Amino acid sequence: MAWVSPADSFGTAIGVGIGIGIGVGIELANPLSAKLLADRVAALSELR
């Protein structure tokens, strides 16, 4: 496993967080995907 500096991992976490935030924002702005989002959250909850 390659060594990753804390700054790199922090930057990656921010990038992923922004990507997820944009994806969720787009889905929330689209009423048709609201049910899909709810189904996905339910599916993720069942996996835990």
User: Which pTM value belongs to this model?
Assistant: 0.38
Q: State pLDDT tens for residues 1-48.
A: 567 788 888 888 888 888 888 888 777 777 766 777 788 888 888 876
Q: In the structure encoding, which two tokens stand for residue 17, read together?
A: 């967080």
Q: What is the pLDDT of residue 13?
A: 86
User: Cβ distance 12 to 20 under 8 Å?
Assistant: no
**Which position has the token pair 């995907």?**
33
Q: What is the pLDDT of residue 32?
A: 66
